[in-house]
Homo-oligomer: A and B are copies of this chain.
Amino acid sequence: MKATVLRLGHRFERDRRVSTHLALTARAFGADGIVFDARDERVRESVKRISEGWGGGFSVEFVSSWRKAVAGFAGDVIHLTMYGLDLDEALPQIRKSRKDKLVIVGGKKVPSDVYRMATYNVSVGHQPHSEVAALAVFLDRLFEGKSIRREFKGAKMRIIPQERGKKMVRQPPTFSPEPSSRRRSRT
């Protein structure tokens, strides 16, 4: 099962940081990519820089019509909203289907047809908080707490967990080795 995030209502002037947080959260908690309904290459560049260093194949895309993207999605569409059903109630059903997930997170005002187009409207607590928090907890629970433990392929750096302090190792890029016969022939 794959998960992709759709971020609605990104405002170029105001949302650069929060949208970058959202994209990195999507990546760290197991989504394969994020889609925005407004073009912002600054967000894409920030996320790309991190993906190049830390690995994984996370994508950042822009669509001109989010409605088409939602209508054309072959899988379950989950809209995170404080007005939706309790996460505890909805999650068993959502997990039962092995279909891919499109997880919609909005800003302050979300067009009302999102509620109708979504397969599930789900609430991570019925309190005002943060779309970053809602996305993180939703993905953490969707993947049963395992998504933060997975490997990111092709990472150039990696952290060695420490009780105190910081330890990061740089890893050589993994090339497919040349066949030994060819290497030998060069000597």
Task: Give chain A's interface residues, CB within 8 Å of chain B.
Answer: 14, 17-18, 21-22, 24-25, 27-29, 50, 54, 81-89, 112, 115-116, 121, 123-130, 132-137, 140-141, 145, 147-149, 152, 158-159, 161-168
Contacts of A149 in B (CB 8 A): 86, 88, 125
CB distance from A17 to the nearest CB of B (A): 6
In the complex this chain forms, how many copies of it are found? 2
Whole-angstrom distance between the alpha carbons of A166 and B123 in the complex?
11
Contacts of A128 in B (CB 8 A): 24, 28, 50, 54
CB distance from A134 to the nearest CB of B (A): 8
Nearest CB in chain B to that of A128: its residue: B50
Whole-angstrom distance between the alpha carbons of A87 and B149 in the complex?
10
CB distance from A14 to the nearest CB of B (A): 8
Contact of A54 among B22, B89, B127, B136 (CB under 8 A): B127
Whole-angstrom distance between the alpha carbons of A133 and B29 in the complex?
9
